Structure 1
Amino acid sequence: GASPNVFVVPAQSDIKTMPELIAKAKAHPGKLNWTSPGAGTTPYLAGEVLKLRTGISMQHIPFAGAGPATTAALAGQVDLYTANIGSLMGAIDAGKLRPIAVTSRERWPDLPDVPSLDELGVKEAISDTFQGVFAPAGTPQAVVDRLAKELTLILNRPDTRQKFVKAGLPVVAEGPEVFRARIAREVPMYKAIVDQAGLKIQYTHAARTMQIR
């Protein structure tokens, strides 16, 4: 399944729209901060793309996962938070977080009043978060084919699709070849973003963590 990322601000923020956030960030370079579920995730890269495409400067506050990042956003400790749309719908519906833009090409059905970055004139900023199933390299093709067939049958069941949609992750079960093509297409795309943003991978062996700076 796949769904776009969403940019949100705390409910108590004076920022109401993405144009307001961009204007404020340009007026105060490097003063605004933002967070994501983690460095290297697609929501994190969506934030880096926003910075690249609009020329703004913001400080990324790293958190170890979506839980702490969401908690910080709810508490008003960050100016902007970007995450997968499905993970934030509960807080958005409760009025605890204010969505100001989505990264899909068009508006997302669950947030019809929230514009897309593309609609706002921020081009080449489309991204989403997807879930997929991988098998170890060297797995016999017959096994891959059987797994794909059975998983596709399960994912296309009405009750299964409904559960995924409710979680904000519509099912995309198009088979191994389509999935492989997507990965082959996106790897160089994200590599280009990493290079343009000047991001560097830093391994901390003691903590077994990876940070992108």
Structure 2
Amino acid sequence: MLLLAKRSGAQWAHVAYKGAAPAVNDAIAGHIDLIIAATTVLNSQIDAKLLRPLAQTGATRHPTLPDVPTLVEIGFPDLVATPWWGLYSPGKTPKPMIDRFQAEMTAALKEEGVTQRIKAMGLTIVASDPETMRKFYTEQAQIWGQVVRENGLRAEGG
């Protein structure tokens, strides 16, 4: 949200929520004017016409919303931000355990039912091994670390 505001010249107040659910509820109720969240979180509200998608933050259009343009398409060529999830283990986890978990996850992600469900949600598998994930994570940390520093963001205690 802050990156979009900076690049677009828009001025709005950023409201940090503790999770998507309260933000979605406030958007539906009209307490906030704009929400950025994962499509998988918003699709049911979009389908029910409770929320109207304006743009997508991915590099390409989302398969569940093919008529909604990306920020790249509407004039922000370097603004791509997609939600992602990773699986992590404690730093001292033995390598054989990590290798086995990775092999089991790779096998699960090749099962037809799993891949169909992933595609139906419009998700993409970015990394399937620890090294690729480490590289992806490092790139994301650099991008979003800069946003944090530029905006003087701080974690709140909780």
Q: Same fold (TM over 0.5)?
A: yes
Is residue 92 of structure 1 aligned with residue 41 of structure 2? no
Is residue 203 of structure 1 aligned with residue 133 of structure 2? no
Please report how far the alpha carbon of residue 88 of structure 1 lies from its aligned counterpart in structure 2 after TM superposition: 0.4
8 Å Cα contact 1:99-1:114 kept in structure 2: yes
Q: Determine helix, strand or coil for the equivalent of 2:149.
A: helix
Q: After alignment, is 177-186 or 53-62 more displaced?
A: 53-62
Query: Which residue of 2 is the match for residue 176 of structure 1?
Result: 130
Query: Which residue of 2 is the match for residue 191 of structure 1?
Result: 145
8 Å Cα contact 2:38-2:82 kept in structure 1: yes
State how far apart, in whole Å, the 1-side matches of 2:155 and 2:146 are. Answer: 18
* Structure with the higher strand share, 1 or 2: 1
Q: Cα distance 1:101–1:191, how it changes in 2: closer, same or farther (>3 A)?
A: same
8 Å Cα contact 1:87-1:168 kept in structure 2: no
8 Å Cα contact 2:59-2:80 kept in structure 1: yes
* Structure with the higher helix share, 1 or 2: 2
Q: Determine helix, strand or coil for the equivalent of 2:156.
A: strand
8 Å Cα contact 1:161-1:171 kept in structure 2: no
Query: Which residue of 2 is the match for residue 124 of structure 1?
Result: 78
Select 2:22's aligned residue among 55, 62, 68. 68
Contiguous gaps of at least 5 residues in structure 1: 1-46, 209-213
Query: Which residue of 2 is the match for residue 142 of structure 1?
Result: 96
State how far apart, in whole Å, the 1-side matches of 2:82 and 2:48 are. Answer: 23
Query: Which residue of 1 is the match for residue 55 of structure 2?
Result: 101
State how far apart, in whole Å, the 1-side matches of 2:17 and 2:138 are. Answer: 29
Q: Cα distance 1:165–1:114, how it changes in 2: closer, same or farther (>3 A)?
A: same
Partner amino acid, structure 2, of 1:120? I
Please report how far the alpha carbon of residue 166 of structure 1 lies from its aligned counterpart in structure 2 after TM superposition: 3.4
Please report how far the alpha carbon of residue 173 of structure 1 lies from its aligned counterpart in structure 2 after TM superposition: 4.9
Task: State the Cα deviation string for residues 124-182 of structure 1 (Å, max 9, x = none).
Answer: 21011111111110222221111101111012211112223334433445211111110
Select 1:115's aligned residue among 58, 69, 73. 69
Q: How does 1:35-54 map to 2 (within 5 A)?
A: 47-54=1-8
Cα RMSD of the aligned pairs, angstroms, is 1.6
Partner amino acid, structure 2, of 1:100? L
Identity %: 32
8 Å Cα contact 1:161-1:170 kept in structure 2: no
Partner amino acid, structure 1, of 2:146? A
State how far apart, in whole Å, the 2-side matches of 1:169 and 1:163 are. Answer: 9
TM-score (norm 2): 0.91
